[in-house]
Structure 1
């Protein structure tokens, strides 16, 4: 049976997505997560998950970093980004970083069902209202290079990169991942080469380039 993971920190929105998904795909198993850590834990625990509906802004995820993490660590899982941000440039970036689709939170139930069916059928999906604008939005050369570099990292290398961005030292990273310090150094050498950076500081900046402003926060300010 196909399995869907709904990743959003708002219970009511998860419930709406769950209902739409149940109507869209027969015999669908649905799992839920409310943070990026719980998403990654669920994917580790249940490798058979087929699709993740990923909120761009929830605990542990502030932009495209969560998408990059899932694509690096679980490349066989399709990811549809869910966000209140419908800027075509943001949608273009999400697609460049491996999203199988993009779902604005203003999307109606009929389109929600269509999106889930389409991506479950191994096709890319965008809402009709955004398709023209997204097609016209150009990928930035920097973002294309960044997406390619991140996609070239192994799952363990991506974990090392995340911990480097958090400011951990090699010994701390080794302890956290249960590997030897010389293995961490080897991973860093590969990470620097593939991302085209020279040091830890520049490597950490790479992940921060994936951060995006949450439109909901702008409304609150």
Structure 2
């Protein structure tokens, strides 16, 4: 029933869409073994055969050229972050409206990372009052980690090179870049780098 609902929603992406279904993880690998040229895998972390994030990592290794977006009812911030850190190209909560899901899929198919709003918004539980001797917030509300990534972006490094310098995965860098562009209200990396402010 869930797959039928997803198929119905995906029909709005266009008539040229070919959809292949898999009821478990083995079914996904069978599709890959058939040599089908897939553009995107919509993956449920709780589908039969899945063993959490480790399985996602294995799937990305088996099909490195295929985008993988998580479609899940589990919306815990830590789980979303783990999935993105492990190479997921997007994390779409099942509670999302159809338009949100379709826009997320379009973004992933365009080679970008989709980050749900729950991860981009501040977590009140993690916030602490700012002490007087701490530096003032960044003008564009970038986190300390995002400032570090952005500083590396300004040197002209690629995402792969930034990942090596920052000691994280390339998927994590992509997620940070997407969040940075959103915070800066720009649509491209070049426009973000062109911005200037006093630090």
- Tell me whether the two structures share a fold, i.e. TM-score over 0.5: yes
Give the TM bin, normalised by the shorter chain.
0.5 to 0.7
Distance 1:78 1:102 in 2: 12
Q: Give yes or no for contact 1:115–1:125 (8 Å, CA) kept in 2.
A: yes
Tell me which moved more, 119-128 or 98-107.
119-128
Structure 2 runs not aligned, ≥5 long:
124-141, 146-166, 171-199
- Which segments of structure 1 move beyond 4 Å, counting only runs of 4 or more? 133-136, 145-148
Tell me the C-alpha RMSD between the 2 structures.
Answer: 2.6
Structure 1 partner of 2:101: 112
Displacement, 1:26? 4.4
Structure 2 partner of 1:206: none
SS at match of 1:62: coil
Q: Which has the higher contact order (CA 8 A, sep 6+)?
A: 1
Q: Give yes or no for contact 2:77–2:118 (8 Å, CA) kept in 1.
A: no
SS at match of 1:37: helix
Distance 1:46 1:101 in 2: 24
| Count of residue correspondences | 131
| Alignment deviations for residues 152-173 of structure 1 (CA, whole Å, 9 cap, x no partner) | xxxxxxxxxxxxxxxxxxxxxx
Structure 1 partner of 2:80: 91
Structure 2 partner of 1:68: 57
TM-score (norm 2): 0.59
Structure 1 runs not aligned, ≥5 long:
1-11, 139-144, 149-221
2:37 maps to which of 37, 48, 57: 48
SS at match of 1:103: strand
Displacement, 1:45? 0.8
Displacement, 1:25? 4.0
Structure 1 partner of 2:26: 37
Displacement, 1:146? 10
Distance 1:32 1:106 in 2: 21
1:77 aligns with 2:34: no
More helix by share: 1
Displacement, 1:66? 2.4
Distance 1:48 1:41 in 2: 13
Distance 1:62 1:69 in 2: 10
Structure 2 partner of 1:100: 89
TM-score (norm 1): 0.53
